[in-house]
């Protein structure tokens, strides 16, 4: 159990960074797609 908690803690920072990067990519993609839809 102690090992499991230790492992979770090690990956928490990585997890937040990966999710933040993913959200950033999705948001930028969404903005570009919105620009495409807005233009004729």
Partner 1 sequence: MHLHKYEKYWLAFGVGSLIVFLLITGIMAFHNGSHPPSAKNTINYEKVDEIAPFNNPGVHKVEGKDWDYEAVVVASAFYYDPPILEVPVGAKVKFIATSKDVVHGFEVAGTNINMMLEPGYISEYVTTVDKVGEYLIVCNEYCGVGHAQMHSMLKVVEPK
Query: Binding to partner 1 by residue 15, rule CB under 8 A?
Result: yes
Choose between 15 and 31: whose C-beta lies nearer to partner 1.
15
Residue 3 φ then ψ, to 5°: -65, -40
Cβ 18 to partner 1 shortest distance, Å:
5
Query: Binding to partner 1 by residue 31, rule CB under 8 A?
Result: no
Query: Binding to partner 1 by residue 20, rule CB under 8 A?
Result: no
Residues 14 and 11: their CA atoms lie apart, in Å, by: 5
Selected from 1, 3, 6, 14, the binder of partner 1 by CB under 8 A is 14
């Amino acid at each position: 159990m102690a090992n499991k908690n230790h492992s979770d803690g090690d990956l928490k920072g990585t997890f937040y960074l990966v999710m933040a990067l993913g959200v950033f990519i999705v948001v930028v993609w969404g903005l570009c797609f919105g620009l495409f839809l807005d233009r004729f």
